[in-house]
Structure 1
Amino acid sequence: MSSGIGLVLSIAKDALAAQQYGIYVTSHNIANVNTPGYSKQTAVFEAKKPAPFGGVLLGRGVDTTEIVRASDQIIENRVMQQKSSLYCYKEMENYMLAMEGLFNETSDTSLSTMLGEFWNLWHDISNDPSGTAERIALYEHSLLISQQFKSVDSDLLQLNTDLTNAVKAGVGRVNEITAAIANLNNEIAGLEIDASANDLRDQRNVLASELAEYIDMKIFEQSNGAFTIVSAKGVVLVNGNDGYDIELDGSSVKWQGSGGNKVDITNNISNGKLGGWLDMRDEIVAKYKQDLTELASEFIWAVNKQHSQGVGLTTFSSATGTYSASAPGAVVTTFASGLDYYDKISGGTFEVWVYDSTDTLANGGGTTVTVTGVTTLNDIATAITALDPDISASVNADGKLAITTTNNHTFAFSDDTSNVLAALGINTFFRGSTAGGMGVNDVIGSDKDYIAAARIDSDATSSGYGTFAAGDNTNALAIVDLQYTSVSISEWSYDRINGNTEGTSTATIEEYYHSLVGSLGIKGSSISRSRAFNEVMVNELNTMRESISSVSLDEEMTQLMQYQHAYAAAAKLISVSDEMLHTLLGVK
């Protein structure tokens, strides 16, 4: 009889212990109800193997076999993968908003507004070619439009720098996370010899989830519970208790192997914050910065080409080009010459008009300089010097064509079919050839009379041959017409993976700019839609995860009451057994 009472006491003791485990686990769940990434845990009970007693098999109570966490790693991985896409588009959306703000199309200082005003001011000059106020207004506005081009270009360059700095910080955080995951792998593998390290697994998943915010990756679980994490280009970020760093080398992201070898993975990072930053820097910002420069370059060229055909209110006593030839002995139509606009020069001629101190043609008429497919800058200087004893040309130390006169002689130009004057920066309106290097020719800054609104009469049969009038607006009207003239402008497509492609757009200057800004808006809207879609997907997957892993206080309180009642019942068993034992001992 006493052995039977002992069995009851043993069962009661195990029952008390089991319910205590249950209460411990429930308490742990309640305590972590607001802990990010925590997965609900449950104590698993199992009936003990029965034992023979008095000819029958009697149960021996309960064992607590394990404490399991409610988690589905497949769903966890899907959440991480979707988060990687979401954070890619989130970062891109943020930078797109900043980028759209740089162009500021709703402002009076937008390039669109300023381009329109530029043509209007040339129209004002065409109405009053000798007007001082009109010339000053055009000059001042041209300074502003040059500054606006430079400002947007500088802001885009700064955005590029900011993105590189963001990548650098992101790379550092990735390395911190992978090192922490490797340490947790080591702890988990050591602890799970006898039991499941549930809380450490949750901590590791939280870190892995944050890692997915930075870089696209895949997770593989080893037999010992450790994670192997593989990222772009198949490089291993974590393998067991080993973490592998990535680094920013210049503008490239490189993976460092255990042997010290480095692998460039820049163009293989497609998602996460790093992917978004790299896409913004190397594709979107780079494209629009280049397109802006193409626009500025063509705008400068179109105005300069026409301006170089005209004449201001006064002729030149000296002139120096604004563009340098790094190799004055090279053919001007070739890249080797070093001229910014070498590709715009073609075979042709231009007229040089030399005037004496009384503004009379010194040589009876315009003198032609010929440019061919073998002409060098030195050749052009020699040809100009040969035109008249009182004019000479040379190439200065900066590689620029410099023209001077003696005996109070002056000179002017007309009828350039070779485009060489504009390519050399002689008698031009703007200087520079890029958005960042654009400015107004210093010659015009020093004297607004050099704004070339007129044209020299080059008709040899005309009574005004070789002259120009203060009221002549021929060249000003030609520049106004540029507003409606379609030109061929390069338009770029940047792709980190497949490379960059140069296309061509045929449009007016303003049409090209409107297309540029319009495409920027379309790109921004597309990114916002992708962000919204991925946000919905992440929320849905998180809902699935929460339905499996989250702690419900209602459920836990119900479970707690069940454990409490079971504990009380087990305690009652001990009390009853004690009474039975006392009764047995009282029998005489």
Structure 2
Amino acid sequence: MGQSLIDIGLSGLNAAQYGLSTTSNNISNASTPGYTREVTEYAEVNGQDTGSGFLGRGVSVTTVARQYSQYLTQQLNQATAQGGTLTSYNAQAESLSTIVGDPTAGLTTQLTTLYTGLQTVSSDASDPASRAAALGNMQSLVSQFNTLTSQFNSVSAGVNTQLQGAVTSVNQLASQIASLNGQILTQQNTTGDAPNQLLDQRDAAVASLSQLIGATTTTNTNGSINVSIGNGQSLVNGNVSYQLATVPSATDPSELTIAYAVTGAGGTTTNIPIAESNLSGGTLGGLLQFRSQILDPQQRALGNIATTIGTTMNAQNEAGVTLTGAAGGPLFNVSQPVITPATTNTGTGSLSATFGGPTLSQLTGDDYTLSYDGTNFSLQDNTTGGAPVPVTFDANGQANIDGMTLSMSSLAGVQAGDSFQINADTRQAGTTMTMATTDPSAIAAGSPSASATAGSANTGTGAITVNPPPGTDYQGALLTGNVTATYSDATPPPTLTFVQGTAGDPTPSVTVTTAGVTTTYPPGTPVPYTAGMTMTVGGVSMTLSGTPVNGDTFSLVANNGSGDNTNVLAMAALMNANTMGNTTFSGAYSSFVGAIGNAAQTSSTASAAQTTLIAQVTAAQQSVSGVNLDEEATNLLTYEQMYQANSKVIQAAGTIFDSIIGITT
């Protein structure tokens, strides 16, 4: 009996010691990240049949178990992944919002200053000082576009750097998890017990991985775990890990995207890009979402503003005349779409494209593919992935769509299956934009015009009227001299013949458009007359009406417009016109700034809400797995008393044993 009491007491001492050790370990690791509270689990030792019933034989320690909830841990990892997404997204959005929100970096002031400068030129179109100031305002606007776009490029480069760092960390964690899987299996197979410390390390690695990238874990029957990302790509399979890589994007080599590294039988690694839409969690997902949802679209919006300003200002300046009386030229250098024919093309058609035309207000700044199926042309927006839209070229081989004028050199030469890549991406338009002139006199403040009168000796009712300046539709050379037109009906059909109005003046060609068909008559060639006809003579549009009489004359006197201000007023008016859809340049810029600010504010609110959710899930998880020092202090006292009580049992057993020995002796 005494010996059995000693055995029972020793088992109790052993159990108490395990409990004390476990509790002490919990207390020591109360602040250790990733530590899971442990408890000692006991079981009664099988009793001994005494003939009068089974007598207990003490207690055994079955295991030291982690207080672990797989459900709560997975919930926490998911919340952490979403938190990582929102945190990185918001950090980038806030940074971009700070850039565009800086009053010194805005375009509104430059646009207002330019408008004022053009108005000043209009008050005295021949004043070189006001012209120089207006040109300086244009240069300031260009510099602001350059600076803003460069800052966007810096943010983009920062995203690339962060993606590279995150991928490196993901690969390290994947290797660590695979290694821990192997160690856990080895120890389990050797001892039959769960290695709690290794399990904690693995859970901590998975938690860190979840913060970096949305990952899904599954537990195998042997206790190892598998980790997958994206649309099912395996990152960890047992004790084997796979690697990710950053590679240049197929659509924009300046941007890095994530690829899955596949190693072939020969040891060659192939990087297979993962669709960014499948990487929606963690820091990586937040960076990719920020770039696709804010950075790229808003940089494109900025580029659209730069392109539209440059294109419309150039067109208006080209519609006027300079201080020297010459035809106006471009004020800004604006990048144009780049065309790349498919290498499989079999036709002889050649495509070119420029920004501008009647659809300029619909400019998207996207990339496209123009395809021909043998009957119809269609345009696919590669940036948005929208459905292809039909494109119809006119008889001159031109089509206007999405802010571009497309020109096909040989429609008949295009063959079925031919296609053309149109790189119309405007994200770098603000960087490449420069001034096309440094000469203040190049501002075409005046409008090319002419005055027309009927001859004083005319006997018919014919009347000539000069049409208003054609503005941005102006074509042809300026009328550089006076012209006289003589009406003749001596030989049907009646004609008008244009000759020099003054000795030494050039004789211009004449262009007549009837029913959409344009005919150009060489200088001095009789032009068939129809009442109400509209002609373009030396770039000046005029209309001849009424019934002239044979021999009647009409004079067209040139006015080079060098002292005129009508065209510079038209340029100033562009600043307040709805040139960008249904808004002005300033309105478009305000929408651009507002979109970034709203995104930053929305993501900040979402990030704060997610932080609260993470705290709630963490509290739930810690209520199971966390160390409660008050509880552990109570356990410490319990096990201490248990130890003391079992010591008394052993002491009593020893006394009994000594008494028995004394009797026998």
TM band (smaller chain): 0.7 to 0.9
Correspondence for 2:285? 275
1:341 aligns with 2:355: yes
Residue from 272, 296, 299 that aligns with 1:263 = 272
2:127 & 2:594 partners in 1: Cα distance? Answer: 37
1:550 & 1:81 partners in 2: Cα distance? Answer: 19
Deviation at 1:142, TM superposition (A): 1.1
Deviation at 1:323, TM superposition (A): 7.7
1:33 & 1:433 partners in 2: Cα distance? Answer: 54
Residue from 54, 58, 62 that aligns with 1:57 = 54
Residue from 154, 158, 182 that aligns with 1:158 = 154
Aligned residues: 479
Contact 1:324/1:339 (<8 A) preserved? no
Deviation at 1:257, TM superposition (A): 3.6
Deviation at 1:151, TM superposition (A): 1.3
Contact 2:327/2:444 (<8 A) preserved? no
Deviation at 1:283, TM superposition (A): 3.2
Call closer, same or farther: CA 1:547–1:326 in 2, change over 3 Å: closer
1:467 aligns with 2:559: yes
What secondary structure does 1:485 align onto? coil
Residue identity in the other structure for 1:439: T
1:343 & 1:311 partners in 2: Cα distance? Answer: 21
What secondary structure does 1:71 align onto? coil
Deviation at 1:312, TM superposition (A): 2.2
2:44 & 2:34 partners in 1: Cα distance? Answer: 32
Residue identity in the other structure for 1:340: T
CA deviations on 1:445-478 (whole Å, 9 max, x unpaired) are 1x31221112233233499932246642111111
Correspondence for 1:389? none
Deviation at 1:101, TM superposition (A): 2.2
Structure 1, 314-323 or 254-263: larger mean CA deviation: 314-323
Residue identity in the other structure for 1:511: G
Call closer, same or farther: CA 1:108–1:134 in 2, change over 3 Å: farther
1:14 aligns with 2:14: no
Call closer, same or farther: CA 1:325–1:576 in 2, change over 3 Å: closer
Call closer, same or farther: CA 1:147–1:49 in 2, change over 3 Å: same
Call closer, same or farther: CA 1:19–1:345 in 2, change over 3 Å: closer
Call closer, same or farther: CA 1:97–1:269 in 2, change over 3 Å: same
Deviation at 1:318, TM superposition (A): 11
Residue identity in the other structure for 1:113: T
Deviation at 1:336, TM superposition (A): 4.3
Call closer, same or farther: CA 1:12–1:459 in 2, change over 3 Å: same
Call closer, same or farther: CA 1:138–1:180 in 2, change over 3 Å: same
What secondary structure does 2:354 align onto? coil
Residue identity in the other structure for 2:76: V
Correspondence for 1:349? none
CA deviations on 1:31-89 (whole Å, 9 max, x unpaired) are 10110011110001111111112522110000000111111011101111111111111
What secondary structure does 1:458 align onto? strand
1:375 & 1:45 partners in 2: Cα distance? Answer: 89
Call closer, same or farther: CA 1:318–1:475 in 2, change over 3 Å: closer
Residue identity in the other structure for 2:29: N
Correspondence for 2:441? 449
Q: State percent identity of aligned pairs.
A: 25
1:258 & 1:178 partners in 2: Cα distance? Answer: 16
- Structure 1 gaps, min length 5: 328-334, 347-371, 377-431, 490-504
Deviation at 1:143, TM superposition (A): 0.9
**TM-score (norm: length of structure 2):** 0.68
Residue from 244, 248, 253 that aligns with 2:258 = 253
Contact 2:47/2:54 (<8 A) preserved? yes
Correspondence for 2:202? 204
Deviation at 1:139, TM superposition (A): 1.4
Call closer, same or farther: CA 1:470–1:263 in 2, change over 3 Å: closer
1:433 & 1:44 partners in 2: Cα distance? Answer: 66
Q: Within 5 A, what are the aligned runs for 1:422-501?
A: 434-442=429-437, 445=438, 447-461=439-453, 465-468=557-560, 471-487=563-579, 489=580
1:574 & 1:325 partners in 2: Cα distance? Answer: 95
1:228 aligns with 2:226: yes
Residue from 312, 315, 318 that aligns with 1:302 = 312
1:520 & 1:143 partners in 2: Cα distance? Answer: 26
Residue from 90, 97, 114 that aligns with 2:110 = 114
Contact 2:174/2:235 (<8 A) preserved? yes
Contact 2:317/2:330 (<8 A) preserved? no
Call closer, same or farther: CA 1:108–1:261 in 2, change over 3 Å: closer
Deviation at 1:554, TM superposition (A): 1.4
1:293 aligns with 2:290: no
Contact 2:318/2:330 (<8 A) preserved? no
Contact 2:9/2:650 (<8 A) preserved? yes
Call closer, same or farther: CA 1:326–1:241 in 2, change over 3 Å: closer
Deviation at 1:228, TM superposition (A): 0.8
Contact 2:177/2:206 (<8 A) preserved? yes
1:316 & 1:518 partners in 2: Cα distance? Answer: 42
CA deviations on 1:220-242 (whole Å, 9 max, x unpaired) are 11111111111111111111101
Deviation at 1:434, TM superposition (A): 2.4
2:233 & 2:81 partners in 1: Cα distance? Answer: 17
CA deviations on 1:251-272 (whole Å, 9 max, x unpaired) are 2311124545543213210111
**TM-score (norm: length of structure 1):** 0.76
- Greater share of helix: 1
1:178 aligns with 2:177: no
What secondary structure does 1:116 align onto? helix
Deviation at 1:282, TM superposition (A): 3.0
Correspondence for 2:407? none
Residue from 642, 649, 655 that aligns with 1:579 = 655
Deviation at 1:345, TM superposition (A): 11
Deviation at 1:556, TM superposition (A): 1.1
Correspondence for 2:34? 37
- Structure 2 gaps, min length 5: 249-255, 339-348, 361-393, 399-426, 454-465, 467-554
1:326 & 1:24 partners in 2: Cα distance? Answer: 74
Call closer, same or farther: CA 1:89–1:336 in 2, change over 3 Å: farther
What secondary structure does 1:195 align onto? coil
Residue from 67, 85, 89 that aligns with 1:70 = 67
Alpha carbon RMSD of aligned pairs, Å? 2.8
Call closer, same or farther: CA 1:47–1:319 in 2, change over 3 Å: closer
Correspondence for 1:506? 582
Call closer, same or farther: CA 1:339–1:466 in 2, change over 3 Å: farther
Contact 1:296/1:433 (<8 A) preserved? no
Contact 1:295/1:513 (<8 A) preserved? yes
What secondary structure does 1:191 align onto? helix
Call closer, same or farther: CA 1:553–1:375 in 2, change over 3 Å: closer
Call closer, same or farther: CA 1:326–1:549 in 2, change over 3 Å: closer
1:94 & 1:542 partners in 2: Cα distance? Answer: 23
Deviation at 1:196, TM superposition (A): 1.4
- Greater share of strand: 2
Deviation at 1:324, TM superposition (A): 9.8
1:548 aligns with 2:624: yes
What secondary structure does 1:223 align onto? coil
Correspondence for 1:143? 139
What secondary structure does 2:41 align onto? strand
Correspondence for 1:238? 236
1:243 & 1:112 partners in 2: Cα distance? Answer: 53
Call closer, same or farther: CA 1:46–1:542 in 2, change over 3 Å: same
Correspondence for 1:352? none
What secondary structure does 2:21 align onto? helix
Correspondence for 2:537? none
Residue from 179, 195, 218 that aligns with 2:193 = 195
2:639 & 2:608 partners in 1: Cα distance? Answer: 45
Structure 1, 80-89 or 152-161: larger mean CA deviation: 152-161
Contact 1:310/1:455 (<8 A) preserved? yes
Contact 1:312/1:454 (<8 A) preserved? yes
